[in-house]
Protein backbone atom coordinates (compact mmCIF):
# COMPACT_ATOMS: atom_id res chain seq x y z
CA UNK A 1 0.00 0.00 0.00
CA UNK A 2 1.27 3.46 -0.85
CA UNK A 3 1.34 5.71 2.19
CA UNK A 4 1.12 9.47 1.93
CA UNK A 5 1.70 10.58 5.53
CA UNK A 6 1.39 14.31 4.86
CA UNK A 7 0.25 16.50 2.01
CA UNK A 8 3.84 17.19 0.97
CA UNK A 9 5.78 13.95 1.46
CA UNK A 10 5.63 10.50 -0.09
CA UNK A 11 7.09 7.50 1.68
CA UNK A 12 7.98 4.65 -0.70
CA UNK A 13 6.48 1.40 0.52
CA UNK A 14 5.74 -1.89 -1.20
CA UNK A 15 2.72 -1.82 -3.47
CA UNK A 16 1.23 -4.90 -5.06
CA UNK A 17 -1.02 -4.86 -8.08
CA UNK A 18 -2.46 -7.81 -9.98
CA UNK A 19 -0.97 -8.05 -13.44
CA UNK A 20 -1.06 -11.03 -15.76
CA UNK A 21 -2.34 -13.25 -12.94
CA UNK A 22 0.75 -12.57 -10.81
CA UNK A 23 1.46 -10.16 -8.00
CA UNK A 24 3.98 -7.50 -8.94
CA UNK A 25 5.63 -5.87 -5.93
CA UNK A 26 6.88 -2.52 -7.13
CA UNK A 27 9.30 -1.60 -4.40
CA UNK A 28 12.94 -1.48 -5.44
CA UNK A 29 14.88 1.18 -7.26
CA UNK A 30 12.69 3.95 -5.88
CA UNK A 31 13.40 7.63 -6.43
CA UNK A 32 11.88 10.61 -4.65
CA UNK A 33 11.94 14.37 -5.10
CA UNK A 34 10.05 17.42 -3.93
CA UNK A 35 10.00 20.91 -5.43
CA UNK A 36 8.44 23.84 -3.58
CA UNK A 37 7.47 27.13 -5.16
CA UNK A 38 5.72 30.10 -3.60
CA UNK A 39 2.26 28.83 -4.58
CA UNK A 40 2.69 25.09 -5.19
CA UNK A 41 4.51 21.94 -4.17
CA UNK A 42 5.33 19.04 -6.49
CA UNK A 43 6.17 15.71 -4.86
CA UNK A 44 7.10 12.67 -6.92
CA UNK A 45 8.12 9.14 -6.12
CA UNK A 46 9.00 6.35 -8.54
CA UNK A 47 9.52 2.61 -8.22
CA UNK A 48 10.89 -0.10 -10.51
CA UNK A 49 9.73 -3.69 -10.32
CA UNK A 50 11.42 -6.16 -8.00
CA UNK A 51 13.92 -8.29 -9.88
CA UNK A 52 13.25 -12.00 -9.66
CA UNK A 53 9.76 -11.62 -8.15
CA UNK A 54 7.79 -9.86 -10.84
CA UNK A 55 7.90 -12.22 -13.76
CA UNK A 56 9.13 -11.28 -17.18
CA UNK A 57 8.81 -7.86 -18.73
CA UNK A 58 9.38 -4.48 -17.15
CA UNK A 59 7.26 -2.05 -15.09
CA UNK A 60 7.85 1.40 -13.62
CA UNK A 61 5.39 3.26 -11.40
CA UNK A 62 5.62 7.02 -10.81
CA UNK A 63 3.31 9.02 -8.54
CA UNK A 64 3.25 12.83 -8.71
CA UNK A 65 1.23 15.12 -6.48
CA UNK A 66 0.98 18.79 -7.44
CA UNK A 67 -0.49 20.86 -4.61
CA UNK A 68 -1.50 24.31 -5.72
CA UNK A 69 -3.13 27.40 -4.30
CA UNK A 70 -6.25 28.17 -6.33
CA UNK A 71 -5.22 26.83 -9.74
CA UNK A 72 -5.91 23.10 -9.56
CA UNK A 73 -8.09 23.14 -12.71
CA UNK A 74 -5.35 24.83 -14.74
CA UNK A 75 -2.75 22.43 -13.35
CA UNK A 76 -4.98 19.48 -14.34
CA UNK A 77 -5.32 20.78 -17.91
CA UNK A 78 -1.57 21.40 -18.20
CA UNK A 79 -0.81 17.92 -16.84
CA UNK A 80 -3.20 16.34 -19.31
CA UNK A 81 -1.75 18.34 -22.22
CA UNK A 82 1.79 17.30 -21.29
CA UNK A 83 0.85 13.62 -21.23
CA UNK A 84 -1.29 13.84 -24.37
CA UNK A 85 1.38 15.57 -26.47
CA UNK A 86 2.06 12.22 -28.15
CA UNK A 87 -0.07 11.83 -31.30
CA UNK A 88 -0.59 8.09 -30.72
CA UNK A 89 -2.15 8.74 -27.31
CA UNK A 90 -5.76 7.88 -26.57
CA UNK A 91 -7.59 9.68 -23.77
CA UNK A 92 -10.79 8.91 -21.91
CA UNK A 93 -12.41 11.05 -19.25
CA UNK A 94 -13.42 9.15 -16.12
CA UNK A 95 -16.35 10.14 -13.91
CA UNK A 96 -16.47 9.45 -10.18
CA UNK A 97 -12.75 9.74 -9.51
CA UNK A 98 -11.79 12.96 -7.73
CA UNK A 99 -13.27 16.16 -9.15
CA UNK A 100 -11.85 15.53 -12.61
CA UNK A 101 -10.02 12.52 -14.04
CA UNK A 102 -8.69 11.12 -17.30
CA UNK A 103 -6.71 8.09 -18.41
CA UNK A 104 -4.21 8.39 -21.26
CA UNK A 105 -2.70 5.34 -22.98
CA UNK A 106 0.39 5.75 -25.15
CA UNK A 107 1.57 2.68 -27.05
CA UNK A 108 5.24 2.95 -28.00
CA UNK A 109 7.54 0.94 -30.22
CA UNK A 110 8.96 -2.37 -29.05
CA UNK A 111 5.89 -3.32 -26.99
CA UNK A 112 6.51 -0.53 -24.48
CA UNK A 113 3.35 1.19 -23.25
CA UNK A 114 2.64 4.17 -20.98
CA UNK A 115 -0.59 4.56 -19.04
CA UNK A 116 -1.27 7.80 -17.18
CA UNK A 117 -4.01 8.69 -14.72
CA UNK A 118 -4.40 12.46 -14.25
CA UNK A 119 -6.77 13.30 -11.39
CA UNK A 120 -7.78 16.58 -9.75
CA UNK A 121 -9.18 16.80 -6.24
CA UNK A 122 -9.75 20.41 -5.26
CA UNK A 123 -6.49 22.25 -5.98
CA UNK A 124 -4.39 19.07 -5.86
CA UNK A 125 -3.50 17.17 -9.04
CA UNK A 126 -2.35 13.55 -8.94
CA UNK A 127 -0.46 11.94 -11.79
CA UNK A 128 0.07 8.18 -11.76
CA UNK A 129 2.24 6.82 -14.58
CA UNK A 130 2.46 3.06 -15.06
CA UNK A 131 4.86 2.10 -17.84
CA UNK A 132 6.31 -1.08 -19.18
CA UNK A 133 6.20 -4.06 -21.49
CA UNK A 134 5.47 -7.78 -21.33
CA UNK A 135 7.90 -10.40 -22.54
CA UNK A 136 6.49 -12.38 -25.44
CA UNK A 137 7.69 -15.61 -26.97
CA UNK A 138 9.85 -13.89 -29.61
CA UNK A 139 9.53 -10.19 -28.76
CA UNK A 140 8.10 -7.72 -26.29
CA UNK A 141 4.38 -6.99 -26.29
CA UNK A 142 2.17 -4.24 -24.89
CA UNK A 143 0.68 -4.93 -21.46
CA UNK A 144 -3.07 -5.49 -21.24
CA UNK A 145 -4.57 -1.98 -21.00
CA UNK A 146 -7.39 -2.99 -18.63
CA UNK A 147 -4.97 -4.65 -16.20
CA UNK A 148 -2.54 -1.74 -16.42
CA UNK A 149 -5.37 0.77 -15.83
CA UNK A 150 -6.77 -1.17 -12.86
CA UNK A 151 -3.34 -1.48 -11.23
CA UNK A 152 -2.70 2.26 -11.58
CA UNK A 153 -6.24 3.04 -10.34
CA UNK A 154 -5.44 1.21 -7.10
CA UNK A 155 -2.63 3.69 -6.51
CA UNK A 156 -4.87 6.65 -7.48
CA UNK A 157 -7.44 5.50 -4.89
CA UNK A 158 -4.74 5.15 -2.21
CA UNK A 159 -3.43 8.67 -2.83
CA UNK A 160 -6.92 10.22 -3.05
CA UNK A 161 -7.76 8.62 0.28
CA UNK A 162 -4.81 10.41 1.89
CA UNK A 163 -5.45 13.91 0.49
Would you state the torsion angle of the CA atoms of residues 21, 126, 99, 113, taken in this order, to the nearest 10 degrees? -40
**Pair type for strands 100-107 and 58-68:** unpaired
User: CA–CA separation, 94 vs 132, rounded Å?
Assistant: 22
Q: How confident is the model at residue 141 (pLDDT cuts 50, 70, 90)?
A: confident
Average pLDDT over residues 71-91: 77
pTM score of the predicted model:
0.73
Q: Quick one: what percent of the chain has pLDDT higher than 90? A: 23
Q: Give yes or no for residue 117 having a pLDDT over 70.
A: yes
CATH architecture designation of domain 26-162: 3-Layer(aba) Sandwich (3.40)
- Beta strand ranges found along the chain (DSSP E): 3-6, 9-11, 16-19, 22-36, 40-49, 58-68, 90-93, 100-107, 113-121, 124-135, 140-141
Lowest-confidence region among 7-16, 42-51, 68-77, 130-139: 7-16
- Domain segments of the chain as ranges: 26-162
Q: How far is CA 150 from the centre of its chain?
A: 11
Query: Mean pLDDT, the chain, as a whole number?
Result: 75
pLDDT one-digit tens code per residue, 44-79: 888 877 555 555 678 888 998 888 777 777 778 777
Q: How confident is the model at residue 138 (pLDDT cuts 50, 70, 90)?
A: confident
Amino acid sequence: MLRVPSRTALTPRPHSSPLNGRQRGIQTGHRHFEQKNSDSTLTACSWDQTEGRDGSGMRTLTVKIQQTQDYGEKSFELGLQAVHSNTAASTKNVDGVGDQAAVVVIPRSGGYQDLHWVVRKGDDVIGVEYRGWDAGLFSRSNPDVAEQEAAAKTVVDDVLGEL
